[in-house]
Structures are given as C-alpha cells and as structure tokens.
Amino acid sequence: MQFGNSIMKKNLLIITILLIGIIAVYFLELNDRLYNNGDGFSYMTFIDNEYRLGDEKKDKDYPKELYKRNFLNEDYKFPRIKVDDIKIYRNVPFVSRLTGKSLSENQRLEVQKFFNSPENFDWAETTWTLRESDYILRFFNQEQVEIGKVWLCLNNCGMTFSNPFSLNMKFGSLSNAGIKKIESILKL
C-alpha cells in the first residue's frame, strides 16, 4: 500500500509542477504580447514619453504641430537602431511563437520605410487595445535582441502601436492608403 501512495504523491507533484509551469508560461506570453510598454528598450528616452503624451500647456500647437515639426527627425526614426531581422507573428497566444516568420530583406526594408513615412498615417484617435491587434512585428538587431515592436490592427480597425514611439506614425491610425500598402508589403 505504501508503494501506491508513493507513486500517487510523485504523480501529484509532477502534475502540480506542470500546471504551475503552464500558468507561468501563459502569463509571460501574455505580458510579452500585450503589456510591453517599451521599458526593455534601453535607448528610449524621457523625450519619447514627452512626445507620446505631449504638453498642451507649453505648446499652443499641441499636438499635431509638435509632431509635424519633428517628422523625419532622425532621433525618432523607428526603431532607432539598425534592424537585422523582422519577424511577423499573428497575435495568438502560444501558436504565434511557433508560426511566426522572418520577412525577406526586401520586405524588411519596405516595412522600415513604411513606418517612417508620415503619409501612411492619419490623425485619428486610437481607441483600441493591443488585444485587438491582428499581428505583432518584432524588430531585431544583429545579435537577435528585440529592439522594437509594432502591433497592427488591420481588420475593421486600421491602427498601430509601436515601441519605441515614433512621431512619424502620428497617433497610430493608418491612412486608407497605408492599410493597403502594409497589407501589400506583408502579403496579407
């Protein structure tokens, strides 16, 4: 009888460890996909947050003119560091990690050009959540360290959110031409 209890305790311990592991992986995945505020990108500066939020008391033209004055400013070029690889993932827990794919060199160059061109974006308010995004684009440097991230909501949404922040993307709303262009580049 004692032998049976020992096996049962061992199985219970294994099941408990597996459940804790699955729950931990789930929350790490959820945090990585939906709650990343860019703190991990060491080159983001205080000014990034100033521009993201703007300061209506100091600038009478807040915020559009503030953004426009800095369009194409190299300090805010997305993602600020040389990109060696871009991977696209569907915004689906767990599965996306297995089905993500690297973009071709031509696509990579076109995507970078796209996100640094203000004409691909409108001034509309971005009242959506990252959970609604269809895709996540992750930008990597030569050492395969993630240096930037863009969430794309294309279906019935037309919104983006980026880390690090870029003034060229305005408030993150894609223009009609921008939606067609990014879908064409990514072949969606």
Instruction: Please report, for the domain that includes residue 92, its CATH number.
Output: 3.30.1490
Amino acid at 159: M
Q: Which domain does 130 fall in, by range? A: 36-186
pTM: 0.74
In a domain, 1, yes or no: no
Which of 153, 150, 147 lies closest to 161 in space, CA to CA? 150
> Number of structural domains, the chain?
1
For residue range 31-84, list pLDDT tens digits in order. Answer: 666 655 555 554 444 445 455 545 555 655 567 777 787 787 887 788 888 999
Tell me how far CA of residue 66 lies from CA of 73, 127, 130, 140, 171, in angstroms.
Answer: 12, 21, 25, 29, 12
